Amino acid sequence: MTRLAFLLAFSVAVAPGCKRGGGARAARDGGPGGAPAATAAEAAKADAGPARRGLETAVIGDLAIRRVDPAAFKAALKDEDLAGAIGSVLSGSKGFAASESEVPDGRTGVPARIAVTITYDQVNAPKGRSIVCTVEAAIEWQRGQRLTPRENVLAERPLPAADGKRAPVIAAELITQSVIEAAQGLRVKEELRQGDDAAVIRALDDPDPDVVLWSLELVAERRLAAGFDPALAHLRSKDAGVRAAGLRALVALRDPRAVAPLAKMANFSNSEELKMVIEAVSAIGGDEAAEFLEYVATGHSDADLRSRAREGLERIGRRRSPPEPK
């Protein structure tokens, strides 16, 4: 039944007289109150994509919704309704289709499934009761290796004492809102994954840290040289996930210019952070990398870190420090 609801949502969105590309996409790409609509020629040029990578469309052949209901009550919501909500969000994008026959010309259909896990419950806190909901969603590829777009949503809504009996209804509203938000996030990430390199670089300035993190993953996957400076800048992000993604991007780029800034920012009193820097510098290599690793291997007080630095020197073929005394 969830598959049927998903298919119906797609069929309504692409029925004769309807256009793809509305809804959440309009808020990001233009439309009322936004940038002027692109001309047909501009749209065709944008859809052409880079010559080295063909455009794809995720063909959603399965939609798996798993709900973990609490013991006290059950949300007044059917999985078919959630499937329809997800289908309505994704159907507005050329990046998604419900069948091979709906894949636009010039694109290759890629089989995929969407997996959604929903957990929710009523919690009691000093400030009062509330309904808390978490949604984990992902696009799982059924063929070939690709980055997997994922989205995690955490939401909470107060449950006044007078509304205690409405918990199932309030939970249903919160779940629906969270599932739609997760679907919109998957759509943004998948459209970005399907987009050209310039779009990925622009997204590195997105105000949403989750979009920035995903863009850094794409920089790493494609080894986009234009992403070097942004990745370096994001090492100063307040978001730990963004910092880690920036580090992965720099390692993937293998640009020796990254070693000096990494060495400068290395926190020698934080062993976990220093381990990451040692691994990154060892992967990048070069003269400055060897100097940094030699310094850690001979001067740090932590035996494990000294050992890791020596291993890094061996990997880059620059072992100069003596072995650890037995």
- The pLDDT tens digits of the residues spanning 238-255 come to 999 999 999 999 999 999
| 21 pLDDT more than 50 | no
Q: Span 90-98, mean pLDDT? A: 89
Euclidean distance between CA atoms 34 and 216, whole angstroms: 26
H or E segment and range at residue 251: helix 240-253
Mean predicted confidence (pLDDT) in 132-153:
95
Name beta bridge partners: 66: 117
Domain boundaries, the chain: 2-195, 198-315
Q: Report the C-alpha gap between 109 and 127 in whole angstroms.
A: 50
Q: Pairing state of beta strands 56-68 and 108-125? A: parallel
Supply 105's token pair.
Answer: 């010309």
pLDDT of residue 13: 46
Residues contacting 269, CB < 8 A, separation 6+: none
Look at residue 57 and give its three-state secondary structure: strand
- pLDDT level of residue 201 (50, 70, 90 thresholds): very high
Q: Which of 13-27, 70-84, 309-323 has the lowest mean pLDDT?
A: 13-27
Strands 128-141 and 150-158: antiparallel
pLDDT at 185 > cutoff 90: yes
How far is the C-alpha of 23 from the C-alpha of 88, rounded, in Å?
9
Q: State how far the Cα of 296 lies from the Cα of 288, in Å rounded to an integer.
A: 13
CA distance 86 to 47: 24
- Label residue 177 exposed, middle or buried (CB < 10 Å: 0-12, 13-18, 19+): middle
Characterize the bridge pairing of strands 56-68 and 96-97. parallel
Q: What is the pLDDT of residues 98-118, one digit of tens each?
A: 888 888 888 899 999 999 999
DSSP string for 165-234: GGHHHHHHHHHHHHHHHHHHHHHHHHHHHHS-HHHHHHHTT-S-HHHHHHHHHHHHHHT-GGGHHHHHHG
Residue 51 above 50 pLDDT?
no
Q: Is a pLDDT exceeding 70 seen at residue 38?
A: no
pLDDT value of position 174: 96
Closest CA to 120 of 76, 184, 181, 151: 76
Distance CA(271)–CA(269), nearest Å, equals 6
Q: Is the pLDDT of residue 19 over 50?
A: no
Residue 5 pLDDT: 65
At how many degrees (to 10) do helices 2-13 and 79-90 cross?
30
Query: What is the spatial distance between Cα 144 and Cα 57, in angstroms, rounded to a whole number?
Result: 14
Mean pLDDT of the chain: 82
pLDDT score for 98: 87
Torsion of CA 260, 277, 192, 180, to 10 degrees: -140
Alpha-carbon distance 17 to 14, whole Å? 8
Report the percentage of the chain scoring pLDDT > 90: 50
Give CA–CA dist 266/285, Å, rounded: 16
Residue type for position 309: A
pLDDT at 26 over 60: no
Question: Residue 31: what pLDDT?
Answer: 30
The hierarchical CATH code for the domain 198-315 is: 1.25.10.10
Confidence (pLDDT) at 273: 83
- 61 versus 227: the higher-pLDDT residue is 227
Please give the residue that has the higher pLDDT: either 323 or 169: 169
Q: Are 149 and 168 in contact (CB under 8 A)?
A: no
- Does the pLDDT at position 30 exceed 60? no
Q: What is the DSSP letter of 245?
A: H
